[in-house]
Every structure is written in C-alpha cells, then in structure tokens.
C-alpha cells in the first residue's frame, strides 16, 4: 500500500514507488503521485467529463513512451469510461482515477476542448509556439492577444505549455460549433500576423516562420487536444503546464521554475488563475464577432 498521509477514497497499491521518472531531478513515482494529489482539485475541475489522451513513460522520461487513448483491459472497474470508436476512453473525473493513472506512469494528460457528452467546445484556445530561444517574444504575443480579445469583449486566460510556449484560453458559452470557433480563432491569429508581421506568423511550415511566434489556431478542433492545466510534461526538469495571471506574465516568468516541486506551493499561496475558465461563469458569447465575420469576410 502507499505510505504517507494521502487520504485515498479507494485502496490503491503503488508499485515501484522508488522508480525514478525524472532521473535528473531525482523525482520518483511516489513523489509524482503526491504531486497529483496536491493539484487534483483544479486539474479535475477542468478535465471532469472529458476523455483523456495519456502519454505514458513506464521507465521514466528517457525510456520508451507511448500514447494511450483507450482504457486498458486491466483497469479497475471503477475507472470511468466513455464509448469511443468502439472502445472505452478514460474519463478523467476523479481522484482515484488520477492517482491510478499516475501509478501507470502516465506523465501527461491531454484533453479535448469539449465534454464527452457534448461536442460543443467549452473554450477557444490558441497555442503560441516560439521559433527562437527565450520567452520574451511569446510573452509579448500573448499580451497582444489578450489586448485584442479584450477589445472584442472576450475574456482571456493564459497558461504555459509546459515546454517553451504559452496557450491562451477564451471560455465560451457551450452553444457554438468547432466551425464557429475556427472562424474566430483564424481571425484573431491572422489579425495579429497582419498587424505585427515581424513578430507573429500563421505559417504552418517551420521553415517559413523565421524567428516569429506561430499562433496555432488549427490545434483547436475536434479530435485535437492540449495538455490539461497542471499536467506535467515528460521533459527534463519535470515542467508543468501552469496557469498564470496576466500580471505575473507582464512582470516576467521563467517557465523552467514551474515544475512538480514548485507548483503545489504556488497553488496554495496564489490560488488557481484558471478558476474562471472552469467555474462556468463569465463565459463569452461569440455572436457579435461571428455576425461581423459573416458580413465582412468570406467563409474560408
């Protein structure tokens, strides 16, 4: 049984608790499971009702890894499932499931933008991918995107990708299609690229981007996913996809400092900057901007 002061709802057996998952950081499976417990409330507020795509690293981040979408046959009966392509996809709904997945060395949790029971997106997300070293450029683009969204009356929230980029989320009233959100996302990305051509690009090919930040609006769509808030990443340093306030982004952030060992205390002291995204309150209407786009821009 797992040792320590973790109040489990179910009895879960932790196997190989001393196995190193992030060897350079000395992070064992036991420490990882404790991290998941520490952040489970805000993480599950976002993932509840959504299917999850896992990236598993059975022997740590330098060993073999693989994606897993369907629930394995050996999973406990209490792990919630949703029929998907003839097989059961895991619903990341509760603490026992999250900790069980941690014991399976699932180090990344990627989720879609909609709930399993309703395929209308709950938010619009734009993925900002820098093409040059450093964090200054992608920060600048995220702030420009926030200001543009604000002028359109759209609330915006930001988190790190857990790698080198940032992801900006606009919570939506759940009554739009992915076609609707694609039009709005494309408009925002192309507007930034046209207004700031030396800083922003929408070029899909890496070789065409130069040093500019790629604003990826195509990642938001049916069948697409992004790391869940507070999901770790299978990278050196055990980074975490961490929600930020705009104020701290303006002051300057080092994403390398946002990792499994620092994020729990940050969450305790600062709270969850993504709470408005998951609260269900303040969700945006796209009606006016869609009406504007229908009149001014051809369908594309």
pLDDT band at 58 (very low <50, low <70, confident <90, very high): very high
Write down the pLDDT at residue 86: 62
Give the pLDDT mean for 68-74.
Answer: 93
Beta pairing, strands 166-171 & 123-129 = antiparallel
* Span 143-169, pLDDT tens digits: 999 999 999 999 999 999 999 999 999
pLDDT band at 32 (very low <50, low <70, confident <90, very high): very high
The pair of structure tokens assigned to 253 is 């952030």
Can you point out the beta strands (E) in the chain? 20-22, 27-28, 53-56, 66-68, 81-84, 87-90, 106-111, 123-129, 157-160, 166-171, 200-201, 213-216, 226-227, 243-244
5 pLDDT more than 80: no
* Span 92-111, pLDDT tens digits: 999 999 999 999 999 999 99
2 pLDDT more than 60: no
Give the pLDDT mean for 111-133.
Answer: 96
Across the chain, mean pLDDT equals 94
- Return the sign of the alpha-carbon dihedral for residues 109, 112, 117, 123: positive
What gap in Å lies between CA 282 and CA 89, rounded to an integer? 30
Collapsing DSSP to helix, strand or coil, 227 comes out as: strand
Closest CA to 179 of 133, 135, 124: 124
Closest CA to 98 of 160, 54, 163, 159: 54
Give the pLDDT mean for 163-180.
Answer: 97
pLDDT band at 6 (very low <50, low <70, confident <90, very high): very low
Please name the CATH architecture into which domain 123-224+280-296 falls.
Answer: 2-Layer Sandwich (3.30)
The pair of structure tokens assigned to 68 is 């897993």
Helices (H) and strands (E) in the chain, counts: 8, 14
Model's pTM, two decimal places?
Answer: 0.93
Q: Are 227 and 127 in contact (CB under 8 A)?
A: no
Out of 3.30.750.24, 3.30.70.60, 3.90.920.10, 1.10.760.10, select the CATH number for domain 20-111+230-273: 3.90.920.10
Domain ranges of the chain: 20-111+230-273, 123-224+280-296
What gap in Å lies between CA 13 and CA 151, rounded to an integer? 51
């Amino acid at each position: 049984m797992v040792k320590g002061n973790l109040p489990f709802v179910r009895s879960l057996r932790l196997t190989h608790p001393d196995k190193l998952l992030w060897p350079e950081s000395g992070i064992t499976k036991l420490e990882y499971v404790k991290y998941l417990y520490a952040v489970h409330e805000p993480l599950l507020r976002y993932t509840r009702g959504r299917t999850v795509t896992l990236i598993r690293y059975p022997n740590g981040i330098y060993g073999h890894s693989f994606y897993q979408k369907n629930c394995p046959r050996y999973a406990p009966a209490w792990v919630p499932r949703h029929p998907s392509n003839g097989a059961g996809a895991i619903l990341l709904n509760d603490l026992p499931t999250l900790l069980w997945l941690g014991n399976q060395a699932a180090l990344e949790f990627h989720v879609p933008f909609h709930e399993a029971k309703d395929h209308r997106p709950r938010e619009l997300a734009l993925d900002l991918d820098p093409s040059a070293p450093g964090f200054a450029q992608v920060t600048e683009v995220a702030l420009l995107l926030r200001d543009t969204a604000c002028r359109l009356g759209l609330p915006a929230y930001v988190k790190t990708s857990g790698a080198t980029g940032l992801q900006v989320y606009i919570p939506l009233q759940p009554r739009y299609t992915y076609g609707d959100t694609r039009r709005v996302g494309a408009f925002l990305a192309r507007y930034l690229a046209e207004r700031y051509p030396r800083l922003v690009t929408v070029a899909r090919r890496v070789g065409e981007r130069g040093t500019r930040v790629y604003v990826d609006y195509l990642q938001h769509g049916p069948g697409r996913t992004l790391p869940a808030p507070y999901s770790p990443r299978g990278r050196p340093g055990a980074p975490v996809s961490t929600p930020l306030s705009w104020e701290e982004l303006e002051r300057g952030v080092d994403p390398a400092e946002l990792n499994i060992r620092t994020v729990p205390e940050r969450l305790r002291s600062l709270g969850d900057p993504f709470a408005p995204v998951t609260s269900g309150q303040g969700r945006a209407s796209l009606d006016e901007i869609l009406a504007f786009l229908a009149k001014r821009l051809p369908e594309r």
